[in-house]
Amino acid sequence: MARTGNRNIQAKLVLLGDMGTGKTSLVLRFVKGQFFDYQESTIGAAFFTQILSLNEATVKFDIWDTAGQERYHSLAPMYYRGAAAAVIVYDITSMDSFGRAKKWVEELQRQGNPNMVMVLVGNKADLEATRKVVTEEGEQYAKENGMFFMESSAKTAQNVNEIFYEIAKRLAKASPSRPTGMKLHNGTQEGGRRLFCCSG
């Protein structure tokens, strides 16, 4: 732990996006290396953890995977409140889901942690034949909003780990004394949790 340049960072990460865009599939691919064609719908929210080791730091993700349907919107704030990173997912074969992703970005800009690392992900990139959202459109929107952008496929594993590596890198780069979203030195249980969790 005392090694120079190696820090432990614990970060709360939330996945948001329309139903059926593949949020759970992305997480399962990242955390367990699994993929199911018919992934059971997420009701409420699910919780996962995964650790990524970089040269400069070890990042432990506390991942909240949320239910996508609009009706569940009222439950979302408690998951993104205090999050260090947000992955906003749309389905490249659905223009509606891209619209919904933009709404999430706006909401996070209004209500979220101002230092949050935000990533826009166009998932299901393997379904090129039925694509409705061109890559440039996603790219452009992400750029305008200061977000990192990637197209991925949970099915083929394309870019899935890359998304989380990029987030980890950005979290590690950010100032260690940042007040929200990170916890240094895993050992200090007391108080640390408070930095990313959310009450009420």
Partner 1 sequence: MERKRTDEFEPGPVPPARPVDRFGFVKQEENNPSQGSIKSRFVNEQEREERRIRKWRKMIGVGGSDWKHYVRRKPHVVLRRIRKGIPDCLRGLVWQLISGSRDLLLMNPGVYEQLVIYETSASELDIIRDISRTFPSHVFFQQRHGPGQRSLYNVLKAYSVYDRDVGYVQGMGFLAGLLLLYMSEEDAFWLLVALLKGAVHAPMEGLYLVGLPLVQQYLFQFEQLVREHLPKLGEHFTQEMINPSMYASQWFITVFSYSFPFHLALRIWDVFLYEGVIIVFQVGLALLKYCHDDLIKLPFEKLIHALRNFPEDAMNPDVLLPMAHSIKVSKLLEELKQEYKKKNEKPIQRAESSASKVTQKQLSARSPAFEESTQPAERSWKQTRLLSRNSRKSRSGRC
Rounded to the nearest whole angstrom, what is the least distance from the CB of residue 69 to partner 1 in the complex? 5
Question: Whose Cβ is closer to partner 1: residue 114's or residue 200's?
Answer: 200
- Dihedrals φ, ψ of 16, to 5°? -130, 155
With b for 16 or more beta-carbon neighbours within 10 A and e for fewer, the 67-103 pattern comes to bbeeeeeeebebbbbbbbbbbbbbbbbbeebbebbee
Rounded to the nearest whole angstrom, what is the least distance from the CB of residue 73 to partner 1 in the complex? 8
Tokens encoding 184: 């240094």
Rounded to the nearest whole angstrom, what is the least distance from the CB of residue 54 to partner 1 in the complex? 21
Which residues are near partner 1 by CB under 8 A?
A: 19-20, 36, 38-47, 49, 62, 67-69, 71-72, 74-75, 78, 189, 193-194, 197-200
Cβ atoms of 148 and 118 within 8 Å: the answer is yes
Question: Whose Cβ is closer to partner 1: residue 77's or residue 176's?
Answer: 77
Most distant CA pair in the chain: distance in Å? 51
Question: Whose Cβ is closer to partner 1: residue 38's or residue 136's?
Answer: 38
Question: Whose Cβ is closer to partner 1: residue 84's or residue 147's?
Answer: 84
DSSP-based three-state secondary structure for 165: helix
